[in-house]
Structure 1
Amino acid sequence: MKVAVIGSGGREHALVKKFHESPSVSGIVAIPGNYAMGDMAKLVPDIDLEDFGEVGKICDREEIEWVVIGPEAPLSGGMADFLERQHDLKVFGPRKLEAQLESSKAFAKDLMKKYDIPTAKYEIFTDHDDALDYVNQVGAPIVVKKDGLAAGKGVVVAQDIETARAAVRDMMADSKGHVVIEEFMEGEEFSLMVLVNGEFIYPFEVMAQDHKRAFDGDTGPNTGGMGAYAPVTHIPESLRMEAVDKIVRPMAKALVDEGLNYFGVMYLGAIVTEDGVKVIEFNARFGDPEAQVLFNLLESDLGEVLENMYHKKPFSLEWRTGCVAGVMLASQGYPGAFKKGKPVKVPETLMPRCFVSGLDRNEDGTVVTSGGRVLLVTGHGATIEEAAAAAYEGVGQIEYGTDDLFYRKDIGYRAMK
């Protein structure tokens, strides 16, 4: 089969690499891709992913059978709908209505409430003053979420009232007047990727844990993810199964009962509370950087997995032994303002362990930064400690200006306590 991977970041780099390792896959096209995918896939640079028609033409021309959509924006925009209906393609990634599970916090929370799926108590606001009154009434800590896509940065966990009020003001000015305000939940978090086709589901046996905050010790603003590791050895299997039985299966059934047909990845962001496992959020695609770490452990043929999911044919995934940790290098200033075009040198011998999120290669061969999150460096080991040490050893091989990039130095620390 020939596969097209939509997107240009680290998650898509990981997908391309996994398909490249899959015997069932005869060719890969990355739309638009990035330079680091060039030896594994045909790149289609300089394309606007909002131009679904042009994406469809490329897929027809390249005789694509499967399309895997990486980022959330094309999913919420309806790319899957268009490619399925207009070009008769198999698309792994939910259609527009189903993608609301991520693109609309309000839709997801209301669905969880209707079907009694455990999550934080919440209220949805369209009026600025009402939202501020609610914050004053409930107090802090409290969580304010933008009702819409925000590249993983549309959440503020406010430890005081002033921070919460500022978040309300910012988000209501930037999200068409909709915010979701939730109770603060305390506990251990984990990410669970689940392959879904209607009520036919396959939860990954391996959980991951990402690091959302910018700085060590889970401080600083939320980001798209500063690193991840897997498996999460200190959270027992019983809690993964609780998430599957009380959250994932009920959500898959709820979507079917609502007349929706979800096909793709359902990414559960969960938290272990005193009252059991609860939903923090759902995403409608593979996590980034969780995908880079999990695919490093996955040994199964990803092309065969897609076919099995499409036909609802039972299968099992095979996993590599050991642990993988990934450390994200980011541009100084991220997730706020940052500068692009900063030179970065990555040894060729290290590249097989790296996933490019925000690097470009100039015509003269110079590699420079092009985004907030720049590069994820992974390491494998028998334990999380060994995996993290290997990842940081790799980070130490990369050359860049000392004031150009930063990274967290405590990836995996929760598993090392």
Structure 2
Amino acid sequence: MNILLIGSGGREHALAFALKASPLCTRLIAAPGNPGIAEAATCVALDPADQDAVVALCRAEAIDFVVIGPEAPLVAGLADRLEAEGIATFGPSAAAARLEGSKGFTKDLCARYGIPTAAYGRFSDRAAAEAYVRSHGAPIVIKADGLAAGKGVTVAMTLDEALAAVAECFAGTFGAAGAEVVVEEFLVGEEASFFALADGAFALPLASAQDHKRAFDGDRGPNTGGMGAYSPAPVMTEAMTERVMAEIIRPTVAAMAAMGAPFRGVLFAGLMITESGPKLIEYNVRFGDPETQVLMLRLDADLVALLKAARDGTLASATCRWRDEAAMTVVMAARGYPGAYAKGSAIGGVAAASALPGVKVFHAGTALKDGRLVAAGGRGLNVSARGATVAEARARAYAAVAAIDWPDGFCRTDIGHAALAREAAAAR
């Protein structure tokens, strides 16, 4: 079949890598894509927010199936538009995408249906939000309600930091996303990312990963869109996975169906594994970035068949296999990210890095300028590798990082530190 992939980041490069490997894929087109995606797909310059242009491209290229990568087009209703045009699409409706588009919506759903999550308050008034923060004290978590491109969340360890985060939201730093603020209880435990496919009624568990949100080593610095990840997450044992499915994922799928907005797509649950069990931090309604990069390296199944089953309502008869290996991705970002950074710096050595054993370099924010690869976004490359253990995957990934020549780039040097400590303890 002819497949159209919407998006241009590292997540989409990883999806293109897996989609192209499917025997069901006759032709892969990406819009707008990036230089890495161009290795697997025909890239077409197009703004995913221009729904008319997306429909026209589907008609012109006889597209059989569309896979939407980023969250913004989903929240804006691109899947609804394409399905209304008779074009089969993987991705939730705008009504179902509220699970990511509004953190307050998701918190209210959890409260209504008994899904474990942090205690919270929703506010559209700054003074009321500040009063709530003062009454609960720090540490506490401040979140812009809407989409904020992986930002808009402050884990405030002091009262002053929390009040400053509230002020930042209401000052318009995150645009319309910060017009309402969610203030949450600070949860203690170990974070994990968990993924499941849903077809509106049935949910199929996929795999787990652990992301590293802070910009610098030792989990210091500002939150980012993610500086690296590894899979599987050791905390997500078989027993914990079943608890997450039973207490969080399946109740959410049932709740969305009961609300008249059945969820068809991928549910990415950000979790905190606490002493009392798993709690939902937030939902994303698309594959994670950079978690997708490690998931696709471990996937041992036909991605197109799985995504089609989610769209067609046949997931109950589907199965998903995973390689019995670990995978790690290290994000190389432009200096200054997640703050101000310069675009256009030259990047070399990607081919040499990609040629190393077990390595795959996914492009995120890159572009070609006069035939040379340059940085075009905050997160430029996702240097990824598989290995028999997390330690082996890590050694391969960082060997590949060393082969890349990007003087204006940086990365964390401690991705996977928690898993490495577990492996070392188990070996003793």
TM range (shorter): over 0.9
Alignment-derived partner of residue 65 in structure 1:
64
User: Cα gap change, 1:176/1:215 in structure 2, threshold over 3 Å: closer, same or farther?
Assistant: closer
Alignment of 1:76 with 2:75, yes or no, is yes
Alignment-derived partner of residue 169 in structure 2:
171
Question: 1:388 Cα deviation (Å)?
Answer: 0.7
Gaps of 5+ in 2: 422-428
Question: 1:349 Cα deviation (Å)?
Answer: 4.0
Q: Report the Cα distance in structure 2 between the residues aligned to 1:389 and 1:380, rounded to whole angstroms.
A: 10
For each residue in 1:109-160, what CA deviation from the matched residue of structure 2 results, as whole angstroms up to 9, or x when unmatched?
0011000100000000111111111111111000000000011112100000
Q: Is the 8 A contact 2:352 2:403 kept in 1?
A: no
Q: Is the 8 A contact 1:234 1:415 kept in 2?
A: no
Alignment-derived partner of residue 320 in structure 2:
317
Q: Is the 8 A contact 2:31 2:47 kept in 1?
A: no
Alignment-derived partner of residue 360 in structure 1:
367
Alignment-derived partner of residue 96 in structure 1:
94
Alignment-derived partner of residue 211 in structure 1:
212
Alignment-derived partner of residue 192 in structure 1:
194
Alignment-derived partner of residue 250 in structure 2:
249
Question: 1:274 Cα deviation (Å)?
Answer: 1.5
Q: Which is worse superposed, 218-227 or 32-41?
A: 32-41
Which amino acid in the other structure matches residue 16 of structure 1?
Answer: A
What TM-score comes out, normalization by structure 1 length?
A: 0.96
Counterparts of residues 232-271 of structure 1 (less than 5 Å): 232-271=233-272
Q: Report the Cα distance in structure 2 between the residues aligned to 1:168 and 1:68, rounded to whole angstroms.
A: 36
Q: Is the 8 A contact 2:216 2:412 kept in 1?
A: yes
Question: 1:225 Cα deviation (Å)?
Answer: 0.5
Counterparts of residues 236-385 of structure 1 (less than 5 Å): 236-309=237-310, 310-313=312-315, 314-351=317-354, 353-362=360-369, 364-385=370-391
For each residue in 1:240-265, what CA deviation from the matched residue of structure 2 results, as whole angstroms up to 9, or x when unmatched?
11111000000000000111121111
Q: Is the 8 A contact 1:140 1:160 kept in 2?
A: yes
Which amino acid in the other structure matches residue 329 of structure 1?
Answer: M
Q: Report the Cα distance in structure 1 between the residues aligned to 2:233 and 2:96, rounded to whole angstroms.
A: 29
Question: 1:176 Cα deviation (Å)?
Answer: 5.2
Counterparts of residues 382-397 of structure 1 (less than 5 Å): 382-397=388-403
Question: 1:199 Cα deviation (Å)?
Answer: 1.6
Alignment-derived partner of residue 34 in structure 1:
34
Question: 1:232 Cα deviation (Å)?
Answer: 1.4
Question: 1:365 Cα deviation (Å)?
Answer: 1.2
Partner of residue 140 from structure 1, selected from 122, 135, 138: 138
C-alpha RMSD of the superposition:
1.1
Which amino acid in the other structure matches residue 138 of structure 2?
Answer: A
Alignment-derived partner of residue 14 in structure 1:
14
Q: What is the DSSP-based 3-state SS (H/G/I as helix, E as strand, rest coil) of the residue aligned with 1:134?
A: helix
User: Cα gap change, 1:304/1:103 in structure 2, threshold over 3 Å: closer, same or farther?
Assistant: same
**Identity score, percent:** 45
* Runs of 4+, deviation exceeding 3 Å: none
Question: 1:234 Cα deviation (Å)?
Answer: 4.2
Q: What is the DSSP-based 3-state SS (H/G/I as helix, E as strand, rest coil) of the residue aligned with 2:215?
A: strand
For each residue in 1:372-403, what CA deviation from the matched residue of structure 2 results, as whole angstroms up to 9, or x when unmatched?
111000121111111111100000000012xx
What TM-score comes out, normalization by structure 2 length?
A: 0.94
For each residue in 1:193-227, what CA deviation from the matched residue of structure 2 results, as whole angstroms up to 9, or x when unmatched?
111111211111x3111111111111111111100
| Alignment coverage as a number of residue pairs | 411
Q: Is the 8 A contact 1:10 1:357 kept in 2?
A: yes
Gaps of 5+ in 1: none
Partner of residue 416 from structure 1, selected from 409, 416, 420: 420
Q: Report the Cα distance in structure 2 between the residues aligned to 1:34 and 1:66, rounded to whole angstroms.
A: 20
Alignment-derived partner of residue 225 in structure 2:
224
Q: Is the 8 A contact 2:301 2:320 kept in 1?
A: yes
